[in-house]
Structures are given as structure tokens and as C-alpha cells.
Structure 1
Amino acid sequence: MVKILMVAPYLGSVYGGTYKAFIELVKTVNNFEKVTVDIITTNANGSGKLDVILEEWIHESNYKIKYFSCFHKYDFIISFSLLKWIFQHINEYKLVHTNTVFAPQILFIHWICQFVKIPYLVTPHGMLEPWAMSYKAWKKKLYYLFFEKPALKKARLIQTLASSESKQLNLLGIKHSIVIPNGIHRREFETPIKPDVFYQHFPNTINKTLILFLGRIDPKKGLDLLAPAFAKAHKQFPQTHLIVAGPDSIGFMSKAHNYFANSGCLDAVTFTGMLTGQLKYAALAAASLYVAPSYSEGFSMSVLEGMASGLPCIITTGCNFPEAATAKAAHVVDINTDAIADALIECLSDPPKAKEMGDRARDFIFANYTWERAAKKLIDVYQTIIEGKPLPEDLTQSNEVFSL
């Protein structure tokens, strides 16, 4: 069995959808029994640490994972014990697959791969998108120019999550990328979930028309745009209520509250914190609309979940999902308050038409965005890299054309 080493600087659930995407992809790849993927990461978890066994393999359903202690502050994470382990064990693997960029921990691993001549594949998770690059811009530009870009150029391949992300990489001078988007498991959405559990936890939402935001409380998620947009829609449709569901990993919650307070609609907003498991699915069942007002995304897991739930979805161009617009499976709008508000009002004004879009969204996701589909493509990429062959044309084709 060919062994692959998957590396991430963090896997705490506080970091949002990236955690779920990472684990689900590894589990699905290992189900095919063509390669074996092991995971190493740190115990970083926002402002705290994960309560996990360190430096021992933990055997999960069909994969194993090893956590290492680290120093971390916000997104800066370094683990010397992990790097030491890499030096000692990297030759046990045929390929290293790293996740995220602008992380010194990952950069060091790329250098180690270069030194021992083991191929590596990189998944940036949207961190090279224009908005992400503009956040703390001068630091990132210098770091990218002198450290990140040379390491990316020496990678065997860059896995992007969206066609627009590959186009952005081309503009940055990185030409060797392949699109393998995130997915969902159909079985999790084929049987309707009742919303009762959500209402039990949040009884103030009963008999309201719920609009769901599902994501981290973070500057890039566009809550500053959503607040006035929702206020405008709520004024016209006073029975609406906004659910803001997500973890606050960087202490941004007070600013988020202020956005809605300043827009005069805080009383019609419920902040639930992070929702997981049946409570999350119950929230999706309770909602009438889903909204993602993001400035920038890699490829949002929550958008896929909203669409797979059959919800009419309003997402911005920053969500990197133009295919949804092409398929008429979502409202894909410009990144501004008026565009978001207009889409909300349009959906609320014509529920039957909105439901038709939600039904199209569900079929569209089921046909094109499953973990099984993503895993098969990734396995083909792994095997091609390990064998030292050029990637076949059918693997490098863009994901811009889909079936319904």
C-alpha cells in the first residue's frame, strides 16, 4: 500500500469548515484502499489547545492521526516536535500533501521535502485569493515573494478548490494547479431532518422566517455587509430573523454585534455559536434562506451544505462559485450591501420561485460535488505524481462544466 502523509498546521473545529473538509476527504480517499493517508497536525485550537494525546498515533475509523504540541498565537503556529518527527519519518512516505500557506510550519516542511527529494502537493485553501492577499498586505507580499512563491513553484502540483482560485494562481505566476473542490456526503442530506431540535435550543426563532449564516465570525465573512442588507430586508419583511451560526476564533464577536446594533436590527438576530451534528442539520431544516456575504473563500463547505439542503442560497462572488450561477442554482451577487439586500428581498418576495432555485441547487450539488468524486480525482493525482508521469488531460480540465 502506497503511503501519503497529509500535514495541516491545525485541525481544531474552531477553525471552521476547513477542519471538516480535511477529515472527510482523507476518510473518503482511504475508503478506496488504493493509497493510505496518514495525518499529522498540532494541538492548536484558537486561543486554547485541543485536549488530545500527543505524539502517538490515534486510530480513527479508517485513518490515523498524530498531534504535536506547539506554540501558537492566532494563526501563527510552530511545532518543533512535529518538524523533528518529519525529519525522522518522511522517508516512510511517497508523497507529502500540505494544507494552507503563509504558515512557517508548512514552509519548513516544504524545505524538508526539497532536501530529501520527496514530491509534495499543496492545497492553499483560498489563502492566495485577492482579498486574503490584501489582508495585512505588505507583510504577505514580502513573505510571498521571498518564501512562499519559490516553495509553491517547486511543488509537484497545487490543488485548488475552485476554478477562480486556479485563475488567481496563474496571475501570481503559479501555472501547475488542478481543481478538486470540496464535497458533501449525499447520505447526510437525502433524508430530511426535522427542525425541532433547533427550535428547542433557540425558542425565540419559532414562527419566524429564518435566514441562516453559517460560518466563522471573521472579517472576511462579510458580516459588515450582511448587517445593513438584512436590516433593509427585515424592514420590508418583519417576520424574518437572522441566525448567525459560527465560532469566534479570533475575538471578532463584539465587532459583529456592533454591525447589527448600528444597523438597528440586533433584536432580530440570534448568535448561536458553532453548530455541529444534528443541531446544525436542524438549523438548515429550520431555515428558509441561506446567505454567505463573504469577501473571500477557498471553497465554502457551508455553501455546499446549504445548497445540498435545498435552500435558496445567496452568495457573493467572493465565494468562488461561478458554476452555481451558471447552473441557476444560487444567487451569486457582487460583494456589496445593496446586491445582498436585493437578493434577500427577491427571494422573500417570491417563495415558490426561491424554492425552485433551492431544488436546482440540491440536484446540482448531488450530481457534481460529493466527497467520492473528489477522492477519486485526488487518488488519480497521487498515483500519477508518485509514478512520475505527466498529468493526463482529463485530470487537468477545469470544473467549469457540470451536469444536472
Structure 2
Amino acid sequence: MKVLVVAPYISFVYGGTARVVKDLAGALGRQNTHVDIVTTNASGSNTLNVPFGQWVSEACFRVQYFSCWHRYDLVCSASMLRWLHWHISDYDVVHTHTLFSPMLSWVHRLCQSRRVPYLMTPHGMLEPWALAHKPKKKAFYFRWIEKDALTKASAIHVLTQGEADGLAAMGLNNTVLLPNGIDAQSLGCNAKPELFYRYFPEAKGKKIILFMSRIDPKKGLDLLARAFAKVRTEFPCAHLIIAGPDSVGYGVKVQRYFDEVGCLDAVTFTGMLTGELKQSALNVSSLFTLPSYSEGFSISVLEAMACGLPCVITTGCNFPEADAAGAAQVVAVDSRAIAQALINCLANWPRAKAMGDRARKLVLEHYTCDKVAVRLLATYTAILGHSGDETSQLVSDEIAN
């Protein structure tokens, strides 16, 4: 089977979506599946220094990059579209990632005209909060372009049951539910704490609360500012690390949120962390929090849980399974609820540590890329062997067996 993955970007400045594309490709490759990724060199306000017009071999898959014009997450590449015009029929299945992209809309139409089955992964971009952001533009684009592509897709890959229910309410029932997974072997939980303190000495000796995600309005940093101010009244030694790229220019406003509640001096903005420095940040932290208004299915939460960190997340993170397993504190999208959960964890460390241990076990048993790849491969097989109406049930049966 030859699978073509099409994504507007795979630079890590775009957060978990980019990670998922590459990690899943590698996991599929380990299942003896031929996987190629075509993408662009977009990287936030910058571009990746990558070769064009040739395959770049990575572990178990290949990537070909194309030059582009881009502004934030709006990406266009004429050279990539020309390549797809000539080569898309070389593949058995096409898998696209993200929505509201004119470039991907053209890809879906090309698949339809060439009779190449395609699967779409919205990555939570049809969640109510996400649709409420720039609602007029999205409503127009969804009605006249995106819904047709989704309806004609062989399957829509959703990450949570809530996402599946939301799409069903839109009349889209051709969904297959598969969560995100992480490459647990790449976490390297033995990275030395001293590495982080070498770069950020102001955090040494403090109770570190880690936020590790994009600096974006949907991530709930306005809520976290008010919550952290309350935490500091109970635990003056608490220090907040905000680790993530500011790809949409939201960082100045976030700093103002913390300044207004009087705790900016206890916050460190590290920018995006990668490699051993990222793992060191996970290792020095006492707690992890993601107070999002809306998520698809957060990779950063899975990474923190896999490292055994007690996690405080909101219902907007769409992870009720973690709550049911006692593997995370899942609270309302409310600053007071977030603050109380963080305070409770710091006040009762043995209980919080036990929750972190359960979190690690849950992720390693159910949310690794290799486990998800087996299910995704079953999805591709069902798509190739049956009509779209049958795909969801066939994949569910395959997973159950």
C-alpha cells in the first residue's frame, strides 16, 4: 500500500498537528507501509531551511518540501500543487491534515477527479470554539467548499467522541475515531534537570508549573493568569513556565494578563523547547497544565502524562478518558476551577504523584503512535476494500478484534 500524506506545514512551531503528521508517518512505516509526506517550508513567520524538489528520507518514511507563500497558518504553494497534479494517482490513499486551506481544497477536488480515495483529519478545527474564531469567513468557506470535501471523503478521522458527535450534528457521519498518539521512545525522560536551569536559572528551587503549547488565544492563558495569581497566594514558591512558540503574535497580550494580576515576575517565557531541553523542562516540573478553551487532542498533554507529571486540564481538552482513569484533574473552563485543582495538587503531593503514575500507565498502554498506526492502517485497508458508508463500522470491528 502506498499512502500519500498532504499537510500545509510540518514545522513544530505549529504545535501538535505537525508532530502528529511525522510521528504517525514513522509509525505507519514501521508497519511496512510505504508513506510519503508532501508539505511546504512554512514555519510561522519564518521558513525551514530544507531542500526542494527531492525526497528527504526520515525514519521509515520520506518527505518532499516545496516553497510557498504563507501568513501564519495560511499556506499556498504552486509548485506543490503542480507536483500533486502529476503524481497523486501514484498512490492508493491520500491523507490530508487540517481544514480551511484553499490548497488542500484543491487536493480534495483532484482526488475526486482522479478517483483516489482520501481521508481527512480536521484536528479539532470544527470544534465549536474553533468555528467561533473568525466565524463569518469559516461559515462561508465551510458551506461552499469544505463540507462538500468532507462529505465526499472516504472517511473523516476524528480524535474524540465529542468531535464525532459534533460532525454528526453537521450531517457528517463518515467518521472514524482514532486518538492522537505519541512516540514514547523519543521522550527521553532521563534528560538532566541541570540543563534547564542553565538556561533559566530563575526557576531553580521553585515549584514549577509547566504550560507547554502554542501561545494562542484558544489555549486559555487569560484563565491561567488569574488562576496562577491565586496559586501564588497559597504557594509563593510557585513558578510558571510558559514553553511554546508565539506564531500568531499573541505573546504581548499574554504578558499583559500576568502583569495585570501582579505575578509576571514569577513567569518565564521560554519560547519553543525541543530535544533534551524540552525533556529537561518536563523533568524539573512539578505539575503540567493546559487550560484550553478548545483542543483537538493535545500531544503536549500526552507527553506530560507519559513523563508521569500530574496534569490539570480543562474539559476543553476533550480527554474525559483521563478523568475516568484518575489520570488527570479535568476541570471546567474557569480560572477558579483551574486554580483550585493546581492548589490541591501542590497541597497533597502523594495523591498528585499517584495520579501522575496512573497517567503514565494510561498513555503507554493506549496512546502511543504505534498502537494508533495499527488502527489507522486498518482504516486505509477498509477504505480500499469497501464503500465510504461501510468504512466506519468496518474499522470499528477491526479495532474490536
TM-score tier after normalising by the smaller chain length: over 0.9
Equivalent position SS for 1:6? strand
Cα offset, 1:117, TM superposition: 1.0
Q: Does 1:369 align with 2:361?
A: no
Cα offset, 1:193, TM superposition: 3.5
The match for 1:284 among 282, 305, 310 is 282
Aligned to 2:395: 395
Structure 2 gap ranges (5+): none
Cα offset, 1:100, TM superposition: 0.4
Identity %: 49
Q: Is the 8 A contact 1:161 1:180 kept in 2?
A: yes
Cα offset, 1:79, TM superposition: 1.1
Q: Is the 8 A contact 2:154 2:391 kept in 1?
A: no
Equivalent position SS for 1:310? coil
Aligned to 1:97: 95
Cα offset, 1:189, TM superposition: 5.0
Q: Is the 8 A contact 2:155 2:392 kept in 1?
A: no
Aligned to 2:185: 187
Give the 5 Å matches for 1:195-344.
Answer: 195-344=193-342
Equivalent position SS for 2:257? helix
Give the 5 Å matches for 1:59-138.
Answer: 59-138=57-136
Distance in 2, Cα, partners of 1:360 & 1:297: 22
Distance in 2, Cα, partners of 1:218 & 1:307: 22
Cα 1:13–1:392 shift into 2, 3 Å: closer
Letter of the structure 2 residue corresponding to residue 374 of structure 1:
V
Q: Is the 8 A contact 1:295 1:319 kept in 2?
A: yes
Cα 1:217–1:201 shift into 2, 3 Å: same
Aligned to 2:6: 7
Q: Is the 8 A contact 2:188 2:279 kept in 1?
A: no
The RMSD of aligned alpha carbons is 1.7
Equivalent position SS for 1:58? strand
Aligned to 2:53: 55
Q: Does 1:26 align with 2:25?
A: yes
Q: Is the 8 A contact 1:316 1:333 kept in 2?
A: yes
Equivalent position SS for 2:182? coil
Letter of the structure 1 residue corresponding to residue 391 of structure 2:
L
Q: Is the 8 A contact 1:12 1:50 kept in 2?
A: yes
Deviations 1:149-187 (A, max 9, x none): 111000000011122211111122111111111112333
Letter of the structure 2 residue corresponding to residue 242 of structure 1:
L
Cα offset, 1:312, TM superposition: 0.8
Distance in 2, Cα, partners of 1:350 & 1:194: 26
Distance in 1, Cα, partners of 2:130 & 2:122: 11
Q: Is the 8 A contact 1:213 1:292 kept in 2?
A: yes
Work out the number of aligned pairs and report it.
398
Distance in 2, Cα, partners of 1:49 & 1:55: 16
Cα 1:260–1:191 shift into 2, 3 Å: closer
Distance in 2, Cα, partners of 1:45 & 1:188: 22
Letter of the structure 1 residue corresponding to residue 60 of structure 2:
N
Name the TM-score, length of structure 2 as normaliser: 0.96
Letter of the structure 1 residue corresponding to residue 101 of structure 2:
A
Deviations 1:120-170 (A, max 9, x none): 000001111111000001111111111111110000000111222111111
Structure 1 gap ranges (5+): none
Equivalent position SS for 2:229? helix
Equivalent position SS for 2:110? helix
Equivalent position SS for 2:239? strand
Name the TM-score, length of structure 1 as normaliser: 0.95
Q: Is the 8 A contact 1:228 1:263 kept in 2?
A: yes
Aligned to 1:383: 381
Distance in 2, Cα, partners of 1:281 & 1:59: 25
Letter of the structure 2 residue corresponding to residue 18 of structure 1:
T
Q: Is the 8 A contact 2:189 2:279 kept in 1?
A: no
Distance in 1, Cα, partners of 2:95 & 2:371: 19
Distance in 2, Cα, partners of 1:80 & 1:156: 26
